[in-house]
Structure formats: structure tokens, C-alpha cells
Amino acid sequence: MSNEQETYIAPPWIKYPTYPEKSNFWRTGTGAEYLVKFNENVENKEKYYEIFPKAPSFGEEIIADDSLSENTKKLLNDPAKPLFINLWSSTGKPKYDIDFNVDKNYIFMYDQLIKDESTHIHIGTDKYSSAKEIISIVESDFRNKSDKVWEELKYTVYINALYYKIVTDINFTKELIKTGDMGIVFKSDNLEWGVEEENGKFIGKNLFGLAMMEVRDALRDVYENYDNIDWDLSGNPYSKERCMCSDVHKI
């Protein structure tokens, strides 16, 4: 790592963004080799982490609030649970609570992102065709345990599925960050995921829109210095940048 050139080896959570810290990927083979290389090229970890904060997939786990049921807390502590099921808040509830019928500072996003199968989503050793598939599989599994478990963890599932979908493609990541501080309204006929307009008003919970805003908050810090990564040192990026001119706000 050279401070004079202001270029850096890529952090593991950007080099391989869909492999959580607890994935076996980091214990053998390519992942383990990259960690060795990373450690050899980062002398001052504390300073480095100021430049490249850890991603949610590498951060400390959030402890479940006592308001969550015992079954839900048991599932969250189960080592066999899917790698990507980690709380973003202790209660499992959204960070934001915004009525976009009042707050008009927003942009629209659409169902294409959830259904998009152009790039498989690899999470650890598992592979999914889309964010929608992740949600469908986990919802079915959690509902088999109990409807209450699903109700308490559904937002956690949504935000993690969206997070891994976005970081799979650097172009999605950068386009989301470019939306700045705008509110995000997700247009969908699923009134839990998003909203529909009825008599000039939005009807729906917009949970995907709120989740995308939280994902953006995290990625803004994590990827702030992405353009200062030395890819000759780091090896090929996980995904390559391309023109997204016709895709703005359609992700």
C-alpha cells in the first residue's frame, strides 16, 4: 500500500463482496490467499479502515433486541442459518419511517431489480438467480418455522437480499450511491415491498424502498474510495464498470 500514490489494495469486502466474513471461502483457496496478500500490503489497519470501512457483511453482528420472540432469537443464533441473515438493527425494523405522500423528495425504483437474473448472486457457496429467489426461499423456510418468525425477520431478509444483489455489480452500487439523499419509492404491485398510486396517493409499505436507502447509507461509506484501489495489485475487480446511461433509476 502506497500512501504517496494514494492507491490501496482492495479490502476483502470489495474484492469479493458477496462472500461474508464467516464464509468458508476465506478459510481455504482463493479467499485465504487473498487475505494473506491483503495483510502483507496493509501495515496500518486502523488507518486503512478509516479509508475503507468494513461492509455490513464483515462488521460485528448486531445483538437481537429482547422485543423479538425466543424462536426468532434462537434462529438468529443458529450456526446453520443462511450466512446472509444478519440484523441491520436490533429490532429487525427499518431505520427510516417516511411518508412519501408528505415528503416529496424521492425517486422511483422498480421491480426489475428484484427479478433481474442477468448476474447470479453468489453468497458463500450458495448461488441464486435473483434477489426474488432469495426472498422466496427464505420466506418459505421461515414460515415453516412460524409466521411470527417471518414477520419479525422479513425486513432483515429483504435488506440483505437487496444488499447482495447490489454489490454483485459495481454498476448497481455506483448508481445507487449517485442517488444521494433522495428518498426511494419502490413501485410494485406487492404493497409490502413497494407502493401503487391510488387517487393521487401512495398506498403500500415501501419496505424495499426503505431498505434500499439503508443499503445506500452503508455502501456510500464502504465505496467512497473505490476509485483509489490499485487493481494491478489487487487483481481483477469482482465486476467491471460499464455505461449505465439508459439504466439510471431503473435498477
**23, part of any domain:** yes
Q: Write down the pTM of the prediction.
A: 0.93
**242, part of any domain:** no
Structural domain count of the chain: 1
What pLDDT shows up at residue 6?
A: 87
Domain that holds residue 41: 12-234
Instruction: Please give the full DSSP string across 74-88, using - where no structure is assigned.
Output: HHHT-TTS-TT---S
Instruction: Please give the full DSSP string across 175-228, using - where no structure is assigned.
Output: HHHHTTT-EEEEE-SSTTTSBEEETTEEES--HHHHHHHHHHHHHHHHTTTGGG
**3, part of any domain:** no
121 forms beta bridges with 128
**7, part of any domain:** no
What pLDDT shows up at residue 248?
A: 45
pLDDT in tens, the chain (251 residues): 444 568 999 999 999 999 999 999 999 999 999 999 999 999 999 999 999 999 999 988 999 999 999 999 999 999 889 888 999 999 999 999 999 999 999 999 998 889 999 889 999 889 999 999 999 999 999 999 999 999 999 999 999 999 999 999 999 999 999 999 999 999 999 999 999 999 999 999 999 999 999 999 999 999 999 999 999 999 999 999 986 554 444 45
Three-state DSSP at 106 gives: strand
**165, part of any domain:** yes
Angle (deg, nearest 10), helices 207-222 and 147-167: 40
**246, three cell numbers:** 439508459
The sign of the CA dihedral 31, 36, 41, 47 is: positive
- In the chain, where do the E strands start and end? 106-110, 121-123, 126-128, 183-187, 196-198, 201-203
Answer yes or no: are the C-beta atoms of 189 and 158 closer than 8 Å.
Answer: no
**245, part of any domain:** no
**248, part of any domain:** no
C-alpha span between 168 and 36 (Å, rounded): 23
